């Protein structure tokens, strides 16, 4: 699989993996949580929290990619559905 195939697969997953409504609500909630954390602990702690959560999300992402062989086989609680929509 070349880079273009991987890129197109990931692009389709980003575009069609979640509904627009879900994404908007998700980001509003995350923004509210980080705003409250910033008001409570300050900028440095909020930046540290963002860095830790970003690193954890990358680890989880690549773990699921590894276990599902690049999203091509079912693994865990999830069933594989094609995201190659055009």
The number of folded domains in the chain is 1
Which domain range does residue 47 map to?
Answer: 3-67
Asked if the structure places residue 62 within a domain, the reply is yes
* 48 occurs within a structural domain: yes
Single out the residue of 52, 84, 56 nearest to residue 70, CA to CA.
84
- 31 lies in some domain: yes
In this prediction the pTM is 0.66
Asked whether residue 75 is assigned to any structural domain, the reply reads: no
Segment 13-65, tens digit of pLDDT: 778 888 889 999 999 999 999 999 999 999 999 999 999 999 999 999 888 88
In a domain, 61, yes or no: yes
CA 71 to chain centre: 13
How far, in Å, CA of 38 to CA of 46, rounded?
A: 6
Inter-CA distances, 80 with 17, 39, 60, 69, Å:
12, 41, 17, 11
Whether 63 is covered by a domain: the verdict is yes
- In the prediction, which pLDDT does 1 show? 67
């Amino acid at each position: 699989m070349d880079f273009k195939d991987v890129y197109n697969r990931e692009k389709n997953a980003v575009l069609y993996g979640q509904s627009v409504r879900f994404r908007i609500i998700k980001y509003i909630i995350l923004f509210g949580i980080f705003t409250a954390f910033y008001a409570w602990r300050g900028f440095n702690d909020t930046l540290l929290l963002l860095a830790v959560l970003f690193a954890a999300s990358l680890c989880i992402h690549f773990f699921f990619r590894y276990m599902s062989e690049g999203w091509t086989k079912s693994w865990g609680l999830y069933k594989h559905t094609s995201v190659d929509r055009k």
